[in-house]
Amino acid sequence: MLRWTITFVVIALIAGVLGFGGIAGASAGIAKICFFIFLVLFVLSLLKGLVRK
């Protein structure tokens, strides 16, 4: 999941530099969503690990 976030951030940066505003905005939005999903799953896995021990 983190790999997808990094991919979309790179796409957004390249599109922003080249002047494709719509693509850059969409890629940045997708990257944000992927990052928050990754963050939630990471916290849940940490809590699950703490509960098991």
Q: What are the residue boundaries of the structural domains of the chain, listed by start?
A: 2-48
Residue 8 burial (10 A CB sphere; 0-12, 13-18, 19+) = buried
Return the pLDDT at 15: 86
- Tens of pLDDT, residue by residue over 1-53, are 678 778 888 888 888 888 887 888 888 888 888 889 889 988 999 898 889 87
- Looking at this protein, which amino acid is placed at residue 31? A
H or E element at residue 2? helix 2-18
Q: What are phi and psi of 19, to 5 degrees?
A: 90, 15
